Amino acid sequence: MTKRGKASSAREFPSRDDVAAFIRGRNGEVNKREIAHAFKLGPGDRHALNRLLDALAEDGVIAPQAGRDKRGGGALPAVGVVEVVRIDEDGEAIAFPAAWRGKGPAPHIRIAADRRGGLAPGIGERVLARLEQDGAGYVARVMKRIEARPRSVIGVFRAEKSGGWLEPTDKRLKTNFPIAAGDTGDAAEGELVLCETRPPSRGGGPAAAVVREVIGHIDAPRAASLIAIHTHGIPTDFTDEAVAQAESAEPAPMGARLDLRDVPLVTIDGADARDFDDAVWAAPDDDPENPGGWHLRVAIADVAWYVRPGDALDRCAYERGNSVYFPDRVVPMLPEALSNGLCSLRPDEERACLAVDIRIDAEGRKRRHVFHRAMMRSAVRLTYEAVQAARDAGGKPADALPDGLMDALYGAYAALHIQREQRGTVDLDLPERRAVMTEDGRIERIEARPRYDSHRLIEEFMICANVCAAETLESLRQPCMYRVHDEPAPDRLVALRRFLETLGYNLGGGQAVRPRHFAQLLKKVAGTPRAHAVNDAVLRSQAQAVYSPDNLGHFGLALRRYAHFTSPIRRYSDLLVHRALITGLKLGAGGLERNAAERFTEAGEHISGTERRAMMAERDTMDRLVAAWMEQHIGAEFSGRISGVERFGIFVRLDETGADGLLPASALGPERLRFDRARNMLSGRGATYRLGDAIRVRLAEAAPVTGGLLFAPARDGGGSGGQSRGRKAPGKGPGPQRPRGKPRRGGGR
């Protein structure tokens, strides 16, 4: 046997978990060649790798086992309609279910070869197929072809003499679409276009595309958010009926509303806020039986007065589920005439509201509360930055603010914070990044979003009001759209505990884990070199918060009952809570429709989905903006921290911008690094790379179209956390493969 053969036989073949983690890390944009290269597999491993990949979804989501997938999805039926989305490098068609109602991403399906020798379906074709589990995956056997429907695809037009081709921005679509000379729609090279796909010809040709709309150049300002809007299917146009209804709306009458117009309620929002739907006020409680206590008022725009169940505005709002906020634009849940007009709590303008009066004691315990339908007039519009600056300087953020109001607001906040500490909430220290844009929509800089006590003040007031809403609806036996956050899954807790043990930390001491145990852990690591790693690990262990009429409590906030009440301009869930309060408290028109409770389960699933859609669109936009910003710095070196470790490489988060990217193991040198999953560590004879370690990297590639970043070791060696022991990393970066999509590690709330 040759030395080469011995090395091959001794090589450890990657496990399913290793390959799944690698695919997730590249956000699904990976082929077999890349996998083989990452794990140093040879030609003799091809069949074993094919069998392993049959058991995994192509984008890193493990396909359903025994009728369920590992991320909470549902079983596929024995027979169903599937749509082909791409052809892999082996010529096999990969499909998605045409209608997917399960939780999480839809499972990928491999189309089996036609035993009768017929042509395999092409991209865009829909087929009725018999679906069978094949190991841990799904295989579809075509029963009948269904007439393909045109599908919209957004991408970048690449010109050629014979027409051109479309480079899709959707990470799931790896195949480019040819565009005939007569179908280019006068698109020019590099322009962002919206296309309609045509099914492949019966002769077996590829699916083609026809340009329907030229959106703009890929390098133009605001292109990133346009891509996200189209990719995620976010509705942008209101119906004519909804717009007319909003524009013709009249201010709500005073009627039997409580008059709060002389109460100096104030709004406190970010400097770039587009709408103002909550206002606050506080004063010392004058009840002698509550010494040191506080009287709070939280007033929220009365959207339910203007948006009634089943009307045109309601139908549009339900479809959207929530507003979507990008650095350069907002896609609102309601037309501007309401979101920035009658439902925006502008200073010195009368506005209808739902208000809650709350009394708390000196340690933030709620004594009682009551809801009112009211009329208010905001005293002043404040920003977080101005409030914090005034607080630090011992002054007032605005002359119009009554003396003592800021002291009262901060006094009430201090009391509420005591309760937060006593509950033991899971407060993760994970800085957000933001793109600061110029007036013409270009990126000026990427920076960490500041976090002030003024932010926390409003957050605590809103949490308190949300708890009041949930408690009131429960006491009235009204349907409630709870905001639920389940406790972490057992397998995630096991993985987290194993990792923490390698750092010398213990979670819960063997007890059933409660929020306070996470709070104690996070306090213990605060300010230490491992703080970043522990916060990331805790985040990955958490369940995702969703909307549901079934109360599971809110684990992260350590609350038994919790609902969203404070933002009905931008969240449909809050509008449902307002309607339920109006109905239960008999506050007049605009309550729930008859039998509304029967539809709350479906509504909860729908708005949980639109929330996830918005989060993905916002995240993808930020990824593309960061990649566009970083593209000018290719070759430059940056400081960062290792935010993830896998067999195939390490994820690095840059200190300055918070940008994430992948540093492949293959770029760290010729030797095979040992991967220790329990310790989250890659190590070799020359260097050790551990989660949370500081590291210097060089930017090798940036892909603004999809938001991917690829790093190489810094030219001084790229050692991490002082663990490098003299080994020189290669100066050459990764190969020419451009990243399609930001590498991700999964997890998150």
Percent of the chain with pLDDT over 90: 48
pLDDT band at 135; cut points 50, 70, 90:
low
pLDDT band at 56; cut points 50, 70, 90:
low
The long-range contacts involving 203-208, CB below 8 angstroms and separated by at least 24 positions, are 203/119, 204/119, 204/122, 205/122, 206/122, 206/123, 206/175, 206/177, 206/178, 207/122, 207/123, 207/124, 207/125, 207/175, 207/177, 208/177, 208/178, 208/179, 208/180, 208/183
Q: Comparing 125-129, 184-188, 298-302, 726-730, which segment has the lowest mean pLDDT?
A: 726-730
Q: What CA–CA distance (Å, rounded) separates 491 from 360?
A: 39
Q: What CA–CA distance (Å, rounded) separates 389 from 349?
A: 26
Any idea of the CA torsion for 578, 332, 540, 19, to the nearest 10 degrees?
140
For the record, the structure tokens of 734 come out as 């990764």
Compute the mean pLDDT over every residue in the chain, rounded to the nearest whole number: 83
pLDDT in tens, 567-583: 999 999 999 999 999 99
pLDDT band at 65; cut points 50, 70, 90:
very low
What is the mean predicted confidence (pLDDT) over 390-413? Answer: 93
- Strand (E) positions, 655-740? 660-664, 674-676, 681-683, 688-690, 694-703, 708-713
Is 154 a residue whose pLDDT tops 90?
Answer: no
**Residue the block writes with tokens 């903006």:** 625
For the record, the structure tokens of 38 come out as 């990452």
- Identify the CA nearest to 334 among candidates 355, 319, 350: 319
pLDDT in tens, 614-625: 998 998 899 888
pLDDT in tens, 685-697: 778 888 888 899 9
Beta-carbon count within 10 A of 66 CB: 8
Strand 433-437 and strand 278-284: the pairing is unpaired
Q: What CA–CA distance (Å, rounded) separates 535 from 747?
A: 12
pLDDT of residue 205: 62
pLDDT band at 668; cut points 50, 70, 90:
confident
Beta-carbon count within 10 A of 32 CB: 15
Beta-carbon count within 10 A of 486 CB: 16
pLDDT of residue 204: 54
pLDDT of residue 726: 31
pLDDT of residue 66: 28
**Residue the block writes with tokens 């703009």:** 216
Q: Between 328 and 441, whose confidence is greater?
A: 328
**Domains of the chain, first to last:** 151-220 (2.40.50.700), 240-426+443-479 (no CATH), 490-542 (no CATH)
